[in-house]
Amino acid sequence: MTTTRTEPVPPSALRRLLPGAPAGGGPRSATLLRHLAVAVLAGTLVVLLTNQLPPYQNLQVARVCAFLCVTAGYTVLVGLNGQLSLGHGALMATGAYTVALVQQGLDDRAVRGWWILPGSLLAAVAVTALGGLVVGLAAARLRGPYLAGVTLAVATLVPAVTTIFTGVFNGEQGLRFPAQNPPAALGAYFQPERWLAWIALAAALLTIVLLANLVRSRFGRSLRAVRDDEVAARLAGIPVARTQVLAFVVSAACAGLGGGVYAVLTATVAPGKFPLDLSLFLLMAIVIGGLGSLAGAVWGALLLVALQDLPGLLTDRLDLPAALAQRLEGNLALAVFGLILIVVMLAAPGGLQAGVRALATRLRATVRRAPDR
């Protein structure tokens, strides 16, 4: 199909994870099957991992998976379609509030059932996609810094909206809804955090498989064509505006799912979870991971969660004076994030994933040069 030609950004990062999968040819189902196989493999590994981990670490796994939904969709938009959005924190908030409002509403009417969780997440995806459509329509008319500016405004709106409509969103305090408990079939002592990790994992795998297929499809090629040269894309018969809006909708839907899952992890939602920094952190995460690469999105999600706990860990271990520790708590994550960004951009301009790939290629070359394997 594609990929034998040299392209600035390789089409599917997941594909690269497979050793020696020959490119091109083959029926379409092979791509889907391959992605499914990798997803099952990765999923099984994570499930095995969660079986061994204590509760707090499982919660972190769950957070990584929730963020992965967002970073994956975000990296497709920014990396593959070239639209810079700074409003993905707000899109996450949209998903989170939708889940909270739906679950709260159903709970108030004493509606119970296993379908409430997937139902509310689906609603979150739908509502956020709709929001993405609105922002995307405006975005398709704007370029570069202007687009970034508009989406930045959206990100700063979240706290204001929740405060102005206190009756619905309950201001700074936010909303609470019933917590997700593991099904009774798993036993009375099943760790609730493990169950949360599994929910988040399912959402992340679904997102990744769908996106991996999408970026390898005709639509995925249109995304890249539009990114690389809008005039050329138009000459080739690709509807530029529609492609851009669709890219925004897809990306927003992923952010909505991620935000919804993020809310489910604590069974609460508050504007403080979606500050402006979050949108900027998300962008840094996908840049460090490797723009446009789904595997890079995994790195980004890992980093987002790891850096949340880093300041506490350091101040705990180093036994710093209280005043200094306090100052670090607030700012260390930002400083470390910035530092990593600089180092990664110097060492591997394509992001962590590009670095890993280069390393793997070199290793493979060394192995091949050796006389016997």
Q: Is 145 exposed, middle or buried (0-12, 13-18, 19+ CB in 10 A)?
A: exposed
Residue 189, interface with other proteins (CB under 8 A)? Answer: yes
Cβ-count burial 226-243 (b if 16+ within 10 Å, e if not): bbeebeebeeeebeeeeb
**Closer CB to other proteins, residue 9 or residue 334?**
334
Residue 23, interface with other proteins (CB under 8 A)? Answer: no
236, 229 Cβ separation under 8 angstroms: no
**Closer CB to other proteins, residue 129 or residue 152?**
152
Residue 33, interface with other proteins (CB under 8 A)? Answer: yes
The residue from 329, 338, 349, 360 that contacts other proteins (CB under 8 A) is 329
**Closer CB to other proteins, residue 133 or residue 314?**
314
The residue from 7, 21, 112, 228 that contacts other proteins (CB under 8 A) is 21
**Closer CB to other proteins, residue 51 or residue 361?**
51
Which of the ranges 53-61, 118-126, 243-251, 295-303 carries the binding residues for other proteins, by CB under 8 A? 53-61
The nearest distance, CB 63 to other proteins, in angstroms, is 9
Q: How many CA atoms lie within 13 A of 255 on its CB side?
A: 33
Residue 4, interface with other proteins (CB under 8 A)? Answer: no
**Closer CB to other proteins, residue 174 or residue 220?**
174
**Closer CB to other proteins, residue 262 or residue 337?**
262
Residue 216, interface with other proteins (CB under 8 A)? Answer: no
Distance CA 91, CA 99 (A): 13
HEC string of the chain? CCCCCCCCCCCCHHHHHCCCCCCCCCCHHHHHHHHHHHHHHHHHHHHHHHHHCCHHHHHHHHHHHHHHHHHHHHHHHHHHCCCCCCCHHHHHHHHHHHHHHHHHHHHHCCCCCCCHHHHHHHHHHHHHHHHHHHHHHHHCCCCHHHHHHHHHHHHHHHHHHHHHCHHHHCHHHCEECCCCCCCHHHCCCCCHHHHHHHHHHHHHHHHHHHHHHHHCCHHHHHHHHHHHCHHHHHHCCCCHHHHHHHHHHHHHHHHHHHHHHHHHHHCEECHHHCCHHHHHHHHHHHHHHCCCCHHHHHHHHHHHHHHHHHHHHHHHHHCCCHHHHHHHHHHHHHHHHHHHHHHHHHHCCCCHHHHHHHHHHHHHHHHHHCCCC
Residue 34, interface with other proteins (CB under 8 A)? Answer: yes
The residue from 309, 310, 314, 320 that contacts other proteins (CB under 8 A) is 309
- Binding-residue total with other proteins (CB under 8 A): 55
Residue 258, interface with other proteins (CB under 8 A)? Answer: no
**Closer CB to other proteins, residue 322 or residue 346?**
322
Residue 312, interface with other proteins (CB under 8 A)? Answer: yes
Which of the ranges 134-142, 145-153, 206-214, 265-273 carries the binding residues for other proteins, by CB under 8 A? 265-273
The residue from 81, 191, 222, 279 that contacts other proteins (CB under 8 A) is 191
Residue 37, interface with other proteins (CB under 8 A)? Answer: yes
Residue 360, interface with other proteins (CB under 8 A)? Answer: no
The neighbouring-strand residues paired with 176 are 268
Q: How far is CA 155 from CA 98, 272, 273, 275, 373, in A?
A: 17, 12, 12, 8, 53
**Closer CB to other proteins, residue 3 or residue 268?**
268
**Closer CB to other proteins, residue 26 or residue 118?**
26
The residue from 87, 95, 132, 159 that contacts other proteins (CB under 8 A) is 159
Residue 310, interface with other proteins (CB under 8 A)? Answer: no
Residue 149, interface with other proteins (CB under 8 A)? Answer: no
Name residues contacting other proteins, limited to 60-119 (CB under 8 A).
Answer: none
Q: Which residues contribute to the site for other proteins (CB under 8 A)?
A: 18-22, 26, 30, 33-34, 37-38, 40-41, 44-45, 47-48, 51, 54-56, 59, 159, 163, 166, 170-174, 176, 178-179, 181, 187-194, 266-268, 270-273, 308-309, 312, 326, 329-330
